Amino acid sequence: MHKILLRQLKKIFGNDKIEALPKELQKFVLMVNATYEGFDQDRLLIERSLELHSKELGKKTAKLQQQLKDIQESKEYIGKEEKVKRATLNLLSDLKIAKETAEESKSNLEATAGELKKRNEQLENSNRATLNLLSDLKIAQKSAEESKKQFEETAIKERQVRIEAERMNKFMVARELKMVELKKEIKTLKESSSSKNA
């Protein structure tokens, strides 16, 4: 797992273990990780290209320095101006070619550096977008947990109200039955009293 992504996960969720995340989020994190690794590989390729260009320029510079040294030695031991002149002309020609090559390499290096800068900006934008998304996901997760808690509390309250309603209903039914029995007893007592009086 990419170090930057691990730091971001730990910053947002307090834990850098991908197994602790929901499955849907795990897929997203793996895609982000692949993007980060791709950026790193591109950066390594660019840095390798810069290193090769630098070595090539170093070799050409060393070659020119050696040629210049050879010319100086030739001038010391060879008194003929024509040879020195030809060597100088060759050196100037080589210097011109080296200058053109150096300018071309400089242009390539600048283009490579611009591309690397662009890739870095894309990576930074991706980092910010990932942080924002992870933050939104954390807020959504927290909101879902709160909604679940409220739903559970509401269900408990509804169950308590239903139990209380059932208890009251049973009480009312029992009271009505008792009233019916009392009325029957009163009627029986009245009938019995009337029968005795007669």
Report the SS3 class of residue 179: helix
Q: How far apart are the first and last CA of the chain?
A: 106
Q: What is the pLDDT of residue 10?
A: 80
Cβ contacts of 61 within 8 Å, gap of 6 or more: 98
Q: What is the pLDDT of residue 162?
A: 92
Phi, psi at 14, each rounded to 5°: 75, 10
Q: What is the pLDDT of residue 106?
A: 84
Query: Residue 93 has which token pair?
Result: 């020609």
Q: How far is CA 33 from CA 13, 30, 179, in A?
A: 16, 5, 77
Distance between CA atoms of 96 and 108, rounded to whole angstroms? 18
- Would you write out the chain's pLDDT as a tens digit for each of its 198 residues? 778 878 887 888 777 777 777 777 788 888 888 888 888 888 888 888 888 888 888 888 888 888 878 777 766 666 666 776 787 888 888 888 888 888 887 888 888 888 888 888 888 888 888 888 888 888 888 888 898 999 899 999 999 999 999 999 999 999 999 999 999 988 888 888 777 765
Q: What is the pLDDT of residue 172?
A: 92
Tally the residues of the chain: 198
Sign of CA dihedral 116, 118, 124, 126: negative
Q: What is the pLDDT of residue 75?
A: 66
Q: What is the pLDDT of residue 63?
A: 84
Q: Does pTM top 0.75 for this prediction?
A: no
Distance between CA atoms of 138 and 13, rounded to whole angstroms? 7
